[in-house]
Amino acid sequence: MHNFGFDLRQLRAFVTVASELNFLRAAHLLHVSQPTLSQTIRQLEGTLGVSLFNRNTRSVALTEAGEELVKDAKKILDYAQKFIENADDHVRGIRGVLNVGFLTGTGVDLMPEVLRAFGEKYPEVRVLVKEFDFSKPEAGINEGMDVAILRPPVSTEGVELEILLEETCVACLPQAHRLAKAANLSIYDLLDEPIVAAPSQGIWRNYWIADDYRGGRGAKVVHEAATVESELQAVASGRGISITALSTALFYSRPGVVFPPIRDMPPCRIAVALPQTATKAARNFADIAVNVAEAHRAREAVSPAGHRASQRANPSIQ
């Protein structure tokens, strides 16, 4: 059984000589000397155990075997070129699979724009989106996701964050609550209230139950909710209040809850997160997310005082 130890360089030499039927011209095209090219062809013939050319001092012609084998050689070179191009596409992030983590309720209006823009620019990348609930606020960036859209703060070390948008923090109150009709609230108005919290422990949960404002006193956590829907259901039923983002009021509002803004709590943020060893495709996704967010902010800045703009200016929505 033959050991087919030929390489692409030898096949390329074979195809070039077969095309030119002249060793001198073929050597010139391949940027090698004629003796080197002749030696390469002899090596290939020795490996294959068959003569590829009939040659004398005046002419070069393919043998019967050479006529057949040159067709296969061209196919192999074509496949090799496609193989190299495919590998290069993966390196450049324009082909392959991209796993995107997404924290529930985060960037609800932004995420579809980012996915659409990425799909238009990189149609050969298959994007798999996985939604994570409040028990995993890192949105999988520490569990194998290539990139994630989430709300800081997150405690995962080595994660690279790029802030996309900022939002007003709002209180989520039952409609019958004593503060429900307030135009806006202080965070200190809420500290004695029973509160609905995320099931996860750590800085993300602490942020949303306003631990930084409590002076060491624990929050009165009366219920844990892993999703926006379960959070609003708990508030609407009067179990407690919660602190959330303005987009919750815009996209998840329902009868029985109101969302007065919190005037002295800094805006919360939406970010795109990358692991330490981010792929090129993940970085491409992050770049597009940043660009889409910039366009989003620009539209918000110049939009007329329509429904959405008025909600942002006065987000106490019932």
Share of residues in the chain with pLDDT > 70 (%): 91
pLDDT on residue 95: 62
* CATH number of the 167-258 domain: 3.40.190.10
Alpha-carbon gap, residue 47 to 168, rounded angstroms: 73
Question: Residue 292 is encoded by which pair of tokens?
Answer: 């889409």
75-80 mean pLDDT: 86
Specify the higher pLDDT residue, 7 or 131.
131
pTM beyond cutoff 0.85 = no
Is 274:194 a contact under the CB 8 Å cutoff?
no
Domain 96-164+272-304 and domain 167-258, same fold? Reply is yes
Which string of DSSP letters, residue by residue, matches 42-76? HHHHHHHTS--EEE-SS-EEE-HHHHHHHHHHHHH
In whole angstroms, what separates CA 118 from the centre of its chain?
9
The residue extents of the domains of the chain are 8-91, 96-164+272-304, 167-258
Q: Is the pLDDT of residue 306 over 90?
A: no
Return the top range by mean pLDDT from 23-32, 46-55, 204-213, 300-309.
Answer: 204-213
- Fold topology of 8-91: Arc Repressor Mutant, subunit A (1.10.10)
Based on the number of CB atoms within 10 Å of its own CB, is 282 exposed (0-12), middle (13-18) or buried (19 or more)? buried
Return the top range by mean pLDDT from 123-127, 133-137, 155-159.
Answer: 133-137
Alpha-carbon gap, residue 292 to 286, rounded angstroms: 10
By C-alpha distance, which of 316, 187, 204, 199 is closest to 271? 204
Specify the higher pLDDT residue, 91 or 255.
255
Is 194:242 a contact under the CB 8 Å cutoff?
no
- Per residue in 134-152, pLDDT (tens digit) is 999 999 999 999 999 999 9
Is 179:173 a contact under the CB 8 Å cutoff?
yes
- At 315, the pLDDT band (50, 70, 90 cuts) reads very low
235-250 mean pLDDT: 96
The secondary element (H helix, E strand) that includes residue 45 is helix 34-48
Q: Is 241 helix (H, G, I), strand (E, B) or coil?
A: strand
What's the mean per-residue pLDDT of the chain?
A: 89
Radius of gyration of the chain (CA): 32
Bridge pairing between strands 169-174 and 257-258: antiparallel
Alpha-carbon gap, residue 168 to 156, rounded angstroms: 25
Instruction: Say which CATH architecture domain 96-164+272-304 belongs to.
Output: 3-Layer(aba) Sandwich (3.40)
